[in-house]
Chain A
Amino acid sequence: MTAVLSGKEIARQLTEKFPESIIESGQDYLVVKNESLLAVAAFLKDTPELNFDYLNFITAVDYYHYFEVVYRLSSLEHNHSLVLKTHCADRENPALPSVTGLWQGADFQEREIYDLMGINFEGHPNMKRIFLWEGFAGHPMRKDFR
């Protein structure tokens, strides 16, 4: 069984290293500030006892006053997982750092989020629409899309 790491426990480790990077932590998730996302992600991937080498998926949820971007990470070596989240409050030009440098598997998924949710991933090598055509107006997975 894949062990679900406690978000609170990881949050404790992270506050030592990156103070004030955590917004919230729960039993199985962790919400970090978007400016510390890359540093936290790199820490989770490169720390040998955590070794989150596998990015199961990325997705985004629209909560009207903010977007929540969800990263589910696993370690194939230790067989454990963690849900890492970040919030993005800007609705006009939402932007987040891209994690493609850490996990190449994020490539198409970040493009999908950009296409359907309109969040721009900075540092992505090929940030453009993936399913809809260039010139499509709006981002259909947003809750206020008509």
Chain B
Amino acid sequence: MALKTEPFVLNMGPVHPSTHGVFRMRTTLDGEVVVDIEPIFGYLHRGVEKLAEQRTYTGIIPLTDRLDYISSMNNNLAYCLAVEKLAGIKVPERAEYLRVIMAELQRIAAFLIAVGAFLNDCGAFFTPFMYMFREREKIVDLLEMVSGQRLTYNYIRVGGVSQDIPEEFLPALRTFVAQMPGFIDEYDRLLMQNEILLARAKGVGILTREQAINCAASGPVLRASGVKWDIRQADPYSIYDRFEFDIPTGTVGDCYDRYRVRVAEMRQSLRIIQQAMTQLPPGPVKAAVPHLIRPPVGEAYAHLEAPKGELGFYLVSDNSIAPYRCHIRPPSLINLTALRDMVRGWKVADLIVIFGSIDITVGEIDR
């Protein structure tokens, strides 16, 4: 006989180690079972879209760094792609390759955090996280070499990148690309068949294919549900049509699939970096772009495959030096749409795991 208790409301967050930032969930529980949740946003709302309306096109790039702050390169790139589309600016070959290398390095770094934080949520407190940080540190060092920054790079600019790579960059990148597969193998050995991880993640928080598409989920969340959809191949931007890589997908759409897809994506990103590294041509790294860009009247939407999913910028220009409207399509926010359906009926401890498997950054949700 199933025992029923009086439902009660438990508030989780906004400051809670498992909420990955300042995010709150109002959960209604029946004993330990989740009956309903309501996500509550806005604790980090800075009004980036409004701020963008008062800045020059170049001046917005630092704002994009602060959206999903663990994948700043991808944010820079998405924004610059939109401005280039709007203003019809062509990017030099070498800059395109550098952009791809940086974007893929950033993807690996973001997946390392995603996987590490997910294992934290599973209860493996900070040990795997520190393993992941060991490798992320190397990527951050590489990105620091080119941009001088360790978190908010502001490296990719409209028309190219801010500066060419220093001469010590390529040897360091080669070492990293050679070593990284060994580290991913190490994670696989430690974790892929780990009994606790399997027990906590397999079959938990299933998101079906239809639900994922209907909720406009994107990135690893969508692919884990079995949809082979990667913007780098479906709608290639920059020079992604020149590289060979696979799109890892899941079969069930549970937490384990989302974890597995992210680990597999790291290997694919390495493949892309390897190809880009060997093809890297000499030449200029920035097109001649005026300081104050005045795109013609019109609108443009550019999107890319960020670590969290489809990150897009929708810009409307009125031929002035600032955009008339700058809308950001935040993958983290839209991926959370499905959370309510995914957690209902699971226990509170599973709620943490399911939430962790979506992988969000609050800076991007609230903007």
| Residue A39 is within 8 A (CB to CB) of chain B in the complex | no
Stretch at the interface among B284-292, B322-330, B342-350: B322-330
* Interface residues on chain A, number (Cβ under 8 Å): 30
A116→B325 CA distance, assembly (Å): 13
Q: Measured between alpha carbons, how far is A131 from B47 in the docked complex, in Å?
A: 10
Q: How far is the CB of A134 from chain B (nearest CB, A)?
A: 11
Interface residues on B, range: 20 to 34
Cβ of A23 within 8 Å of any chain B Cβ, yes or no, is: no
Given contacts A61-B316, A76-B227, A103-B216, whether A108 and B336 have CB atoms under 8 Å apart is: yes
| Interface assignment of B307: CB less than 8 Å from any CB of chain A | no
Total residue contacts A-B, CB cutoff 8 A = 75
Is A132 in contact with B216, judged by CB distance below 8 angstroms? no
The answer to the question of A10 belonging to the interface, with a C-beta cut-off of 8 Å to chain B, is no
A59–B211 Cα gap in the complex (Å)?
Answer: 22
The verdict on A109 contacting B334 (CB below 8 Å), with A59-B314, A141-B49 known, is: yes
Q: Determine whether the beta carbon of A76 is less than 8 Å from that of B229.
A: yes
Flag B300-344 by CB within 8 Å of A: 1 or 0 each: 010100000010101010000000110101000110111000000
Nearest B-chain residue to A79, judged by Cβ: B234
Q: Which one, A14-22, A30-38, A49-57, A86-94, is touching chain B?
A: A49-57
- CB atoms of B45 and A55 under 8 A apart: no
Which chain A residue shows the least CB distance to B38? A126
Determine which residue in B41, B50, B216 has the highest number of CB atoms from chain A within 10 A of its CB, and name it: B216
Given contacts A104-B214, A105-B215, contact A131 B42 (CB under 8 A): yes
Beyond A70-B314, A105-B334, A141-B50, 8 additional pairs, beta carbon < 8 A: A1-B235, A1-B236, A56-B329, A104-B338, A108-B334, A108-B337, A112-B333, A131-B45
Q: What are the nearest 3 A-B pairs in CB distance? A: A105-B216, A131-B42, A2-B235
Interface, chain A (partner B; CB < 8 A): 1-2, 53-57, 59, 61-62, 70, 72, 76, 79, 83, 103-109, 112, 116, 130-133, 140-141
